[in-house]
Amino acid sequence: MRESVTQAVILSLVPVKEKDMNVSLFTKEHGRVNARVIGGKKPLSKFAPHLDPLTLVIARLVEKNTITLTDVLEENRFKILREESKRFSEAIKIIALIDVLLPLEVPEGPLWNEVVHSFEKGEPRVANILKILGYDSERMICGICKNPNVGVFSRDHHLFVCESCGGKFSFRDVVYIT
C-alpha cells in the first residue's frame, strides 16, 4: 500500500508527542491499520472534526516507513447509534473488540460488511461480530466452571465465561454478550 484511498471506521485515537496522534482504523481494503496523524492534536487541525471513534470516513493513507493518514473526510457518524445509549454501548464494544482481536493489515470483507451494515441500520450485535471472528458463543461452555450458559467474553484471554465467573476478570477485559 504505497498510497490508498479507502473507507474506514475510526476505532481509537492515541496521543503521540506534542501535536501528533496515532489512529487505529478498520478499513474496507486493508483490514485494521494503525496510522500516524501529523499535527492531529492541533486545535485548528483539518483532521480534528473527522477523527471521532465510531465514524465512517474516507481516508487517504500513504506508506513510506510508516503508514500516515494524509487526508480524511467524514462520511457517516452513525447518528442512529449515538441517539440511544444501548445501541451506542454495543457499537463501542464492537470497535473495541475489532481493535484488540483483528490482526493488522488482514482484509476482512465479511466483518467489514457486517459492521457497516449493522451500524447503518442501528442494530449492532456483539455476538454476530464474535461469530464472524471465529468465537461462536452458542456452542461454548464457561472456560472456568464449565457452565453451558455463557454471557461474557474475555478479550485478553479469548475465552467465554458465565456471568458469575466474569466477575473474576477486570472490567476492561470483559464484554457482556447477553
- Per DSSP, 104 falls in state B
Amino acid at 32: R
The closest alpha carbon to 101, from 33, 155, 150, 138, belongs to 155
Q: What tens digit of pLDDT does each residue of 128-165 get?
A: 999 999 898 888 899 999 999 999 999 999 999 999 99
Give domain 1-123's CATH architecture. Beta Barrel (2.40)
> In angstroms, what CA-CA distances link 81 with 55, 90, 112?
11, 9, 17
The reported pLDDT for the residue numbered 11 is 97
Regions of the chain with pLDDT less than 70: 1, 178
Name the residue ranges covered by the structural domains of the chain: 1-123, 135-178
> In angstroms, what CA-CA distances link 64 with 22, 89, 155, 160?
16, 36, 32, 40
User: Which conformational region is residue 110 in: left (phi greater than 0), alpha (psi within -120 to 50 degrees), or beta?
Assistant: alpha
Query: Do residues 27 and 59 make contact, with C-beta atoms less than 8 angstroms apart?
Result: yes
The reported pLDDT for the residue numbered 74 is 93
Pull the grid cell for residue 36.
500516524
